[in-house]
Amino acid sequence: MHPEGFLEVITGPMFAGKTTELIKRIERQIFAKRKAALFKPAIDNRYSESEVVAHNGLRYDAFVIPTDGKGVEMIEDITKKEGFEVIGIDEVQFFPMPVVEMLNRLADDGVYVIASGLNLDFKGDPFPVTKELLVRADNIVYLTAICTVCGAPATRTQRLINGKPAPRDSPVILVGGRESYEARCRKHHIIP
């Protein structure tokens, strides 16, 4: 379906189905007899230590990678050593900026790269890694969720602390699920 050497980015807020879409695309490539693999950041152990798991329970085995420069090198080394034709990276926003050039290089070398990550942090600011990948992408899949307040299309992720919007000075990275986050539309996304 996609030519060799292709960089695709799946983005949007939490609960938009990004991981489900990533797994679906990897499975499709495997059905097409292409050698494919998934990578996930080690810090995302919400549902599994060794699998990429969507909020709907869909799961897939993955290489677990530290979110540092060494981890970025590991993705490239494993991809080349194993001869993967297609790779998927879940939660790409957790990796450091060098992941952008590395994924771009793999695409230049003929690998079909699918990177999935959040568009914006809880404050509504772009994640730098996702933003840089978007401008280099050959294709962008922008997914929306459903606003938990009004049911409109949601493009933002609301962080909650004890059911209330998190203050602006909260840490940017907090791995969590429905207990900490909701999908919200522009109108109902609140930053105190």
User: Is 91 one of the catalytic residues?
Assistant: yes
Size (the chain), residues: 192
Q: How many CB atoms lie within 10 A of CB 37?
A: 21
Cα–Cα distances in angstroms (integers) from residue 135 to residues 7, 8, 78, 101, 177, in the given order: 10, 11, 25, 12, 28
Catalytic residue among 8, 76, 91, 182: 91
Please tell me whether residue 139 adopts helix, strand or coil conformation: strand
Burial of 32 (0-12, 13-18, 19+ CB in 10 A): exposed
What are the catalytic residues?
Answer: 91
